[in-house]
């Protein structure tokens, strides 16, 4: 189950054009630690409707809390997932 803050979801939709709820549709290919966060966060790279995406999330109370969902940059996707 994916949890997220409703206000953060609105902000994410405005900024990236994706709802955090769509994280449940993501076909995850790899998960890596997020080195830029103060708390323990992860980045998941995968696809939603054949579009390469990046999900930033943390684990809270045994569940997954989505923080950000956006289209992945080609270089970062290639670096973490595979050569396209």
**Domain locations in the chain?**
2-80
22-32 burial string, b = 16+ CB within 10 Å, else e? bbeebeeeeee
43 has a pLDDT exceeding 90: yes
Q: 2-80: CATH homologous superfamily?
A: Ribonuclease toxin, BrnT, of type II toxin-antitoxin system (3.10.450.530)
pLDDT number for residue 84: 44
For residues 11 and 40, give the distance between their C-alpha atoms in angstroms, rounded to a whole number: 22
48 has a pLDDT exceeding 70: yes
């Amino acid at each position: 189950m994916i949890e997220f803050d409703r206000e953060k979801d609105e902000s994410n939709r405005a900024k990236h054009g994706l709802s955090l709820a769509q994280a449940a549709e993501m076909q995850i290919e790899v998960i890596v630690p997020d080195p830029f966060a103060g708390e323990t966060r992860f980045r998941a790279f995968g696809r939603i409707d054949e579009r390469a995406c990046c999900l930033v999330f943390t684990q809270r109370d045994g569940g997954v809390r989505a923080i950000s969902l956006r289209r992945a940059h080609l270089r970062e996707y290639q670096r973490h997932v595979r050569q396209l």
